[in-house]
A and B are shown apart, each in its own frame.
Chain A
């Protein structure tokens, strides 16, 4: 059974229809990249997947025990966060809030989960550092660790490499690959970067208003939409 299956859904932003008649599936272990121009409805789709917004028509189906609250989300950074006095530990641990269920304090198990996720992303030494004093790449790793704390199955990343330099960007992408292949976490990533998308993802969802493309990366590379979007260059 698919983790997410969407069949003929319609999305609206304020009062305009942005995406019509969209269908796609996400299976466990997939690495899906969502690409598309600005205003093509990427953010709206993310909100729908996260359960923050209803679809205008049709249904986004969650399967295999996944609910929208169990998706580890890595949102775009806001300016306010850049000078926020919080330690890395506090930020990562806040990802466990979903599973806290009523108690006042975090349980020992949750703290262990946070520690193990920090270890996976090589940020254990940063534990007591101040979030705002980290480099951009380190900050993204911290937020990724937090996202992992909130999920067992799937992470959703919204343009995670914005503002990072090429070396750090490459490192970050390889980290995502590792999470996907080594730990079996399903990845959905919104990206501007078509080149890395086709190099990393197993599936591509190219959003357009009416004739969005969804398929495997191999299929996408052969498609018309890819050729016109990438300016006819082939890899």
Chain B
């Protein structure tokens, strides 16, 4: 077990996560005590939504999110403080107003610019494992400043928290210290968002304090206990996220929930026997220790699985995974990071995933916007990792696509598609690149790999001819996709006419009502009896359109993520694309 840990913590990304995580946990615990006791718990939540809005705007405007969000969130913190001090709008209402308002602005801005891309998901759920070096430096400095200021003004913060009217009457500058607490909270929220995400960061502020308040009887012991539990929960959460390949933020919160339950239980039990304070602290310490022991034990079962005889290929999504496994047969280990059925846009690498990437021989990924996390990891990957960036293999598709809606006005979006493999020709391109890389890693089996690759390329070329024939025979007909559209390379290859509900392939929340109406009109005008949805999508928009026209809904497979069922049945890129072929054929009839 120690060996596993040793390997893990020799990884730079984990060391970074560890440093920043511990510091942020400390900041949150310290400020949390004051906020919870002042009945300001929800301020953290409100500010994190403001932070989300600010980050969304920063991402849209192309400015560094941290530098943009920091002043905005601090400003919002002061505003919240003033609003609740003035008492014109009650504190909780003020927070709800600001937080939901900022969230709405953030969503508006993202929907008008990039769509819900990966960055935005990261701000919502956090991605502590993909921090850049400068992120780490800034976060560390800021959290050290927060901790230092809290220490220096500890007595003042206590006085202001416990009894503001007394402190003010006896000459403590309460509004100054309230502003200090607000500003420190704002800073903590912004740097903590990277780790925990906007939706979860406030739990780090609230849980440790509430937990330690179960048992502690003085302010100082609450401060110390919540700092300790906060750090312990972070460490345990990180370990759990490694063990179960779970997102770190959510794991940390779950450990916090467990610890709160333990403390509440201890309080209930000790309330019956009335033991001394010392005894209670002892019980608490035992609980905390057993919790960490539990986390450690979970790791113990893990034997070092990183020793390998076969070459390993790590593929982010299904298409390239399928290619690699067809090429290598049983002579290489091929790993797919996006689990069957997983939503690709919310994917976040687990520590395990990052380890796999850093220790593999061949890494195949798209290289587009949604894969930016991988670029971060690759910066610290050893030279032995051969990287295949699929977008680089084919000409970058950044065409202004002017697919028309029913009324004929062109919808111009400068957006590029990352699903390069949807054209079988591109797929063949990717296959040869992968086979070259695998052969480089494992020359002994060169002939075997080459043969498999050639067989696969043959199949892809046949598929290409069949698509070309079908679409050429039906020139002039078009298809309607009531979904996002990850088939731009495909459509381009065969000059297929299409209309889609969403311009790009981002998982947007809502379709524009006007677009839906236009698509219904178009389907009626062209007598179209099939509306397509994309696999793994619920197809709500497609069904709405289909109902409007009286058409049926069929599925197109993007081969980005495979459904669990298809995966079990051993479906491949070619078999899924053949389904597309069949569906298109039927729609044209």
| B is bound to A | yes
A179 near B: Cβ within 8 Å?
no
Q: Any chain B CB within 8 A of the CB of A95?
A: yes
Whether the pair B169, A130 counts as a contact (CB closer than 8 A) is no
Indicate whether A208 reaches chain B with its CB closer than 8 angstroms.
no
Say whether A97 contacts B162, CB under 8 Å: no
Pick from A52, A87, A133, A143: contact of B168, CB under 8 Å: A52
User: Among the listed B162, B166, B220, which residue makes an inter-chain contact with A84, where contact means beta carbons less than 8 Å apart?
Assistant: B162
Known: A73-B170, A80-B38. A86 touches B162 (CB 8 A): yes
Q: Is the CB of B163 within 8 A of A130?
A: no
The answer to whether A90 and B170 touch across the interface, beta carbons within 8 angstroms, is no
A105 to B217, CA, bound (A): 21
Interface of A is mostly: mixed
Q: Give residues 384-422 of B contacting A (CB, 8 Å).
A: none
Chain B nearest CB from A145 CB (Å) reads: 12
Q: Does A7 contact B (CB under 8 A)?
A: no
Q: Which of B64-72, B153-161, B504-512 contacts A (4 or more CB under 8 A)?
A: B153-161
From B222, which residue of chain A is reached at the shortest CB distance? A85
B10 located at the interface, meaning its Cβ lies under 8 Å from any Cβ of chain A in the complex: no
Known contacts A52-B168, A80-B38: A97-B217 contact under CB 8 Å: no
**Residue interface bits A80-101, CB-to-B below 8 A is 1, else 0:** 1100111101110011011010
B39 at the interface (CB under 8 A from A): yes
Report which of B39, B154, B169, B171 forms a contact with A80, defined as CB distance below 8 A.
B39
A69 within 8 A of B: yes
Is A75 interfacial (CB-CB < 8 Å)?
Answer: yes
Residues on A with beta carbons closer than 8 Å to the beta carbon of B219: 84-87, 90
B213 part of interface (Cβ distance < 8 Å): yes
Residues of chain B within 8 A (CB-CB) of A80 are 37-39
Question: What 0/1 readout, one digit per residue, does chain B (146-180) give for beta carbons within 8 Å of chain A?
Answer: 00000110111011001101111111100000000
* Total A-B pairs, Cβ < 8 A: 91
Is the CB of A71 closer than 8 A to any CB of chain B?
yes
**Of A50, A94, A95, A146, most B-chain CB atoms within 10 Å:** A94
How far in angstroms is the closest Cβ of chain B from A168?
A: 21
* Chain A contact residue count (CB 8 A cutoff): 38
Contact B166 A90 (CB under 8 A): no
For A104, give its contact among B152, B162, B166 (CB under 8 Å).
B152
Known: A80-B38, A97-B159. A90 touches B220 (CB 8 A): yes
B303 — which chain A residues lie within 8 A by C-beta? Answer: none
B215 (CB) vs chain A CBs: closest residue: A85
Kindly state the separation between the CA atoms of A130 and B216 in the bound complex, as whole angstroms.
Answer: 9
Within the complex, the shortest CB–CB distance from B84 to chain A, in Å, comes to 13
In the assembled complex, how far is the CB of residue B343 from the closest CB belonging to chain A, in whole angstroms? 42
* Distance in Å: Cβ of A98 to nearest Cβ of chain B: 5
Report if B527 contacts A (CB, 8 A): no
Structural contact, B218 and A97, CB atoms closer than 8 A:
no
Which residues in B have their C-beta under 8 angstroms from that of A129? 217
Contact with A along B199-240 (1 / 0, CB 8 A): 000000000000001001111111000000000000000000
With A80-B39, A104-B152 already in contact, the answer to whether A85 and B216 are too (CB < 8 A) is: yes
Given contacts A97-B156, A104-B152, contact A52 B169 (CB under 8 A): yes
Size of B's binding interface in residues, CB under 8 A: 29
How many Å lie between the Cα of A128 and that of B221 in the bound state?
12
**CA A145 – CA B425 in complex, angstroms?**
85
List which B75-89 residues lie within 8 A (CB) of chain A: none
Q: Which B residues touch A72, using CB under 8 A?
A: 170
Contacting pair B218 A87 (CB below 8 A): yes
Bound Cα distance A71, B154 (Å): 23
Cα–Cα, bound, A86→B158 (Å)? 9
B172–A75 touching, CB < 8 Å: no
A210 to B236, CA, bound (A): 67
Given contacts A80-B38, A81-B162, A91-B162, are A130 and B218 in contact (CB under 8 A)?
Answer: yes
CA distance A163 to B313 in the complex (A): 73
CA distance in complex: A144, B152 (Å): 27
Q: Which residues of B contact A143 (CB under 8 A)?
A: 166
Question: Given A85-B217, A86-B219, A50–B159 Cβ distance below 8 Å?
Answer: no
Contact B155 A81 (CB under 8 A): no
CA distance A72 to B171 in the complex (A): 11
Query: Are B37 and A98 in contact, with the CB atoms below 8 A?
Result: no
Which A residues are CB-close (under 8 A) to B213? 85
- A residues 170-197 with Cβ under 8 Å of B? none
Expressed in whole angstroms, the minimum distance between the Cβ of A52 and any Cβ of chain B is 6
Q: How far is the CB of A14 from chain B (nearest CB, A)?
A: 11
Give me the interface of B with A, judged by CB distance under 8 Å.
Answer: 37-39, 151-152, 154-156, 158-159, 162-163, 165-172, 213, 216-222, 277
Give 13 A-B pairs besides A78-B163, A94-B163 with Cβ atoms closer than 8 angstroms.
A51-B169, A69-B169, A74-B166, A80-B37, A86-B162, A87-B217, A87-B218, A90-B219, A90-B220, A94-B162, A94-B166, A97-B167, A104-B154
**Interfacial residues, chain A to chain B (CB-CB below 8 A):** 50-52, 68-75, 78, 80-81, 84-87, 89-91, 94-95, 97-98, 100, 104-106, 128-130, 133, 143, 146-147, 150, 156
Ordered by A's residue number, 6 sampled pairs between the chains whose C-beta atoms are within 8 Å are A68-B169, A69-B169, A84-B37, A86-B162, A90-B218, A150-B170
